[in-house]
Amino acid sequence: MSYFSVDAITARLRVWFPDREFFMRSGGQVRFIKLSSRLQIAAAGVVCAVLLAWVGTLGAVAISHFAASHDRQSLLTREAHVETAEARVAAYRHGLNGIADGLARRQDFIDKVVTAHLGDLPHDRRAGETVSDSKREAARTISKISMAVPEAAGLARLEARQLSFVEGLTRYADRRAEGDAAALRKLGLNPAAMMGGAERNDAMGGPLLAMSTSADGSLDPRFARLGASLARMSALDGDMQRLPQSLPASLQYISSGFGYRSDPFTHAGAFHPGLDFRGPVGAPIYAAARGVISFAGQRSGYGNCIEVDHGNGLITRYAHMSAFRARLGQQVAAGQVIGAIGSTGRSTGPHLHFEVRINDRPVNPRPFLEAGSHVSEKTGAFGAPNPVAD
C-alpha cells in the first residue's frame, strides 16, 4: 500500500483522531458525549481552513504593503534622478558662462596685443574691397540663440567678436599688401611677377597639416580669406625687404647720377648705369638690402666688385672697392658692411659705384633709395656731375 494513498492517510488520521468519549455530570445526572474520529477530522479540517485563510489574508496585506512601499521608493528615486539632472544642467549652464567669460578675456588680450603692434584694425568698408561684413548677420544669430538657448548667448557673442576680428584683420592685410604693391608698381616692378618668382625660387616642404575651423574638418571661408590675405601681405612684405632701400655708403654727396652724361675719360656722351657715392678710401660700403653674395671679384671697368642677389632677378652691384668685407655665398642683411670704398678699375678717384639691376638690366637706383630712406638731393647729388666719377 502506498504511503500517500487515501486509505493510508485515512488510517493515519484515525490514529491521530481516535474516537473519544466524554462524560458530563449535571443535576446529579451523568451524560456521555462521544466524538467520533470522523467528526474530529472534520473539525480539524475546518480549523485548518480558517487558519490558512487568515494566513493568506495576512500574506496578501503584507505583499500589498511591500508593493506600495516599493512604488513609493521608486518614485522617490526617480525624483532624486530628476533633481540630479536639473542640478547638472544648471552646472553646465554655469560652466558655459564661465567658459564664455574666459574666452572673452582671451579675445580682449588678443585685441590689445594686435592693437599695440598693428594699431586699430579697420572695420570700415571701402569701395572695391571684397572682405565680408558679418555684423548684421551676427546680431541676428545672437538674438535667435539667446531666445532658443539662453545659456549659449555668451558663446554666440564671442563668436561674433571673433568674426569681426578676423574680418578687420583681413582688411588690414589687404590694405597693407595693396600699399606694398603700389610701391612696387611705382618702382616699375610687377608685384604679381615678383610674388610668382618668390614662390618658384623658395624651397618648400613638410608634412600636410590641414587647417580647419569646424568638427568636420572644413574651413570657414572668412578664415580661408584671412589666410590668403596674410600670405599675400607676407610675400609682398618680403619683396619690399629685398628692395635696395638702404644707403650703400655715407651720403656726403653723389658725384654722378644715373643716365646719360659726359664720360670723365673721353668727355663724350655715355650712359652711366648707376650712382656714384663719393667718399674717402676705406670708408664702409653697406648692403642696400638683404640677400646673398652672388659675385665677389674683379670685373672689367668695375675693378673690385661685389654683387648681391636679392631674388626675383634683382641684384645690386658695388664697384671700385679697396677691400672686400664679405665672401661669395654669404647671407647679408640690409646695412651690413660688405666692402670699403676705393678707386680700383676705371675710376678717377675714390668713390662707390652702385647699380640696381633687374634681370641684368640696369634701372635707376634713386627711386629705390628714396622709397626707403627719403634721400634728398644735395649739392651735386642725383645727377649733377662732379669731378670724381667712373
Query: How many Cα atoms are found within 13 Å in the side-chain-facing hemisphere of 149?
Result: 14
pLDDT at residue 379, rounded to an integer? 33
Query: How many Cα atoms are found within 13 Å in the side-chain-facing hemisphere of 111?
Result: 16
pLDDT at residue 208, rounded to an integer? 46
pLDDT at residue 220, rounded to an integer? 77
Radius of gyration of the chain (CA): 52
Q: Which burial class, exposed, middle or buried, applies to 144 when counting CB atoms under 10 A from its CB (0-12, 13-18, 19+)?
A: exposed
Residue 162 is which amino acid?
Q
Separation CA 305–CA 320 (nearest Å): 6
What angle (nearest 5°) sits at the alpha carbon of residue 233, between those of residues 231 and 238?
Answer: 95
Q: Which domains are present in the chain? A: 1-120 (no CATH), 121-197+217-241 (no CATH), 254-373 (2.70.70.10)
Q: Please answer whether residues 308 and 315 qualify as being in contact, where contact means their C-beta atoms are separated by less than 8 angstroms.
A: yes
How far, in Å, are 1, 194, 308, 320 from residue 305 at the CA level?
138, 26, 10, 6
How far, in Å, are 129, 167, 212, 214 from residue 217 at the CA level?
28, 21, 5, 6
Query: Strand 29-35 relative to strand 20-26: parallel, antiparallel, unpaired?
Result: antiparallel
pLDDT at residue 317, rounded to an integer? 96
pLDDT at residue 322, rounded to an integer? 94
Per-residue model confidence as pLDDT tens digits over 357-367: 988 899 888 88
Phi and psi dihedrals of 4, rounded to 5?
Answer: -105, 15
Report residues of the chain scoring pLDDT below 70. 1-4, 6, 13-17, 19-35, 40, 68, 70-95, 196-218, 252, 372-390
Per-residue model confidence as pLDDT tens digits over 86-108: 665 565 566 677 777 777 888 88
What is the model's pTM? Answer: 0.60
pLDDT at residue 266, rounded to an integer? 75
Helix (H) or strand (E) run with residue 113 in it: helix 37-118
